[in-house]
Structure 1
Amino acid sequence: MKKIYLLGVLATIMLAGCSSAKTTESSSADTSAAESKLTDETSIAGTDADITFTVGFDQDFPPMGFVGDDGEFTGFDLDLAADVAKRLGKEIKYQPIAWDAKDMELTSGNIDCIWNGFSTKNREDKYTWTKPYMKNDQVFVVRSDSGINSFEDLAGKTVEVQIDSSAEAVLKENTELSSTFAKLQTVADFNTGFMDLEMGGVDALAMNSVVANYQITKRGGEGFKVLDKPLSSEEYAVGFKLGNTILRDEVQTALEEMKADGTLKIISEKWFGKDVTTLE
């Protein structure tokens, strides 16, 4: 009798243990599935690349991209980017960057592209590019009363360029010219560069002609002049991380639509008084 009773108890315990194990396994599986589903949903919902278009730019680079009088980001390139984002069904996000940190920003995914008077010259193989949409020259800006009228007059002078800019790359390559300078130095942005030039801290600025002419006009059109001979010629395009052809192609298609319907011309006339775009 006792044996039968003990066997019954043991059977009950074993059944309870199996039931508990199955319940634990089921609960664990349900939790794992729920976590997996949550992770997937969070991943999908949190993919900013699907809903935003983040443009990296130098905020001290008028008229391409800068801080307007109202404190908002504005500029020719930023207007183009905003229209492209709208056509792609994305929200535009302007991301100011330090120009010498642009590669890190792009590689890390903090920005989708660099769009700010970005020259392809000497960078052809470093980025995935759209087709060029604008031409530009690198030029020297000097004070009107400086007596500097040619490259030869720059001998023994202090010349300033924005760090990691096209002008810096050109002058480092053209040692025949740059070796005649007393000093070639860099500056973080051209607003500071113009102040240095105005105060006599430097004798000349090497920079983009588009930006140079805009800066001079904003300062009343007097006090500075651009040397007649350009340092080099270049083209502007939108630069993406090397290999990112999918987003590049989407942006390129949008730009071509803007060319066809006249939007490029309208935005260009707003900033320059004429159509300076070259996209074909």
Structure 2
Amino acid sequence: MKLMKKIFLTLSLVFVTFLLAACAKTNKEANSDQWENYEKNKKITIGFDNTFVPMGFKNEQGENIGFDIDLANAVFAEYGIEVDWKPITWSMKEAELDNGTIDLIWNGYSVTEERKQKVLFSDVYMETEEVLIVKKDSGITKLSDMTGKIIGAQAASSGYEAFISNPKVLKDIVKDKDAAQYPTFTQAFIDLENNRIDALLVDKVYANYYLAQKDETENYHVILADLESGDFAVGARKSDVTLVKNINQGFKKLYKDGKFQEISEKWFEEDTASPAVKGE
């Protein structure tokens, strides 16, 4: 019996030692530049919200498509690296990045001062702004018309963060002085369609594309929200300096070669590249 107990304790000690070593290795990797590993393994994992049209979403055939999907695939093709696209809960994006489940956040991810404390951002590749989507028969034509009305937003989105950070614009006048929060914009839009909310706070690119695809442009107004939420960039771990440097170089090369414009025309029918991408 004593022998069995001794063996059990020995095995437990070995397991704990192995676990601590594995955790130490994971922590070390999370805090070091991983570019050599991405090159060696020829793969990188990107986290995205697979409902955020037209940036990155799953189509009816179950394929991951969108502007960001095409752009990221093109950038990493320059380095012979394949992208593994991982759908994530958007409110958990930074946690997923920190624990190593994903290597990048790339899906209409806006630059904010709060997020700069958590991630290393690439250059801005597209400028955007927040808008309200409202029904044309709602009587809402300007921000002040939202007094006492119900507003919806995606949880942990840059739009919601801007809504909270600039209370005098909308937060102080809407019903309950807060927004109804949704896991995805798609779910929020369903509530807007069914009059459970009066307005939806979203990125302009999402609003225009979504309404056009659903052939609902004639039934809704898009109103500028006067909220500074940050433009789109890619988020990496603070330690992945080489990765971010190479993404920035990839943007510029794609633009110089005309590939960036081609992808942009496909999704937006215009050149949406930021001045940083154009080299201005």
Q: CA deviation digits over 1:180-212, x for unaligned, max 9?
A: 111321001111111100000100011100001
Q: How many residues align?
A: 234
2:152 alignment partner in structure 1: 160
- Structure 1 residues 249-260: aligned runs within 5 Å: 249-260=245-256
- Structure 1 residues 1-280: aligned runs within 5 Å: 50-122=41-113, 123-176=115-168, 177-183=170-176, 184-220=179-215, 221-228=217-224, 230-232=226-228, 234-278=230-274, 279=277, 280=279
- Quote the Cα distance in structure 1 between the aligned partners of 2:182 and 2:213: 20
Identity among equivalent positions (%) equals 35
Note the C-alpha offset of 1:48. Answer: 6.7
2:8 alignment partner in structure 1: none
Q: Which secondary structure does the structure 2 equivalent of 1:119 belong to?
A: coil
Answer yes or no: is the 8 Å Cα contact 1:135–1:233 preserved in 2. Answer: no
Note the C-alpha offset of 1:233. Answer: 5.6
Note the C-alpha offset of 1:167. Answer: 0.9
Note the C-alpha offset of 1:224. Answer: 1.5
Q: TM-score, normalised by structure 2?
A: 0.80
- Quote the Cα distance in structure 2 between the aligned partners of 1:250 and 1:174: 35
The residue type paired with residue 148 of structure 2 is G
Q: Which secondary structure does the structure 1 equivalent of 2:98 belong to?
A: helix
Note the C-alpha offset of 1:219. Answer: 1.5
Q: TM-score, normalised by structure 1?
A: 0.80
Q: CA deviation digits over 1:153-174, x for unaligned, max 9?
A: 0000010110001111111111
Note the C-alpha offset of 1:229. Answer: 5.2
The residue type paired with residue 95 of structure 2 is M
- Quote the Cα distance in structure 2 between the aligned partners of 1:127 and 1:229: 26
For structure 1, list consecutive stretches of 5 or more residues without a partner in the other structure.
Answer: 1-46
- Quote the Cα distance in structure 1 between the aligned partners of 2:240 and 2:224: 39
The residue type paired with residue 147 of structure 2 is A
- Quote the Cα distance in structure 1 between the aligned partners of 2:231 and 2:166: 19
- Quote the Cα distance in structure 1 between the aligned partners of 2:206 and 2:110: 13
- Quote the Cα distance in structure 1 between the aligned partners of 2:86 and 2:67: 15
- Relative CO higher for 1 or 2, CA cutoff 8 Å, sep ≥ 6? 2
The residue type paired with residue 154 of structure 1 is M
For structure 2, list consecutive stretches of 5 or more residues without a partner in the other structure.
Answer: 1-36
- Quote the Cα distance in structure 2 between the aligned partners of 1:137 and 1:81: 22
RMSD, aligned CA: 1.5
Note the C-alpha offset of 1:121. Answer: 2.3
The residue type paired with residue 75 of structure 2 is V
- Quote the Cα distance in structure 1 between the aligned partners of 2:224 and 2:137: 16
Q: Which secondary structure does the structure 1 equivalent of 2:191 belong to?
A: helix
Higher mean C-alpha deviation, range 124-133 or range 268-277: 124-133
- Quote the Cα distance in structure 1 between the aligned partners of 2:38 and 2:76: 13
Larger Rg computed on CA atoms: 1
Distance 1:276 1:48, change over 3 A: closer
The residue type paired with residue 236 of structure 1 is F
Q: CA deviation digits over 1:102-155, x for unaligned, max 9?
A: 011101111111110110023233211111111000111111110001111000
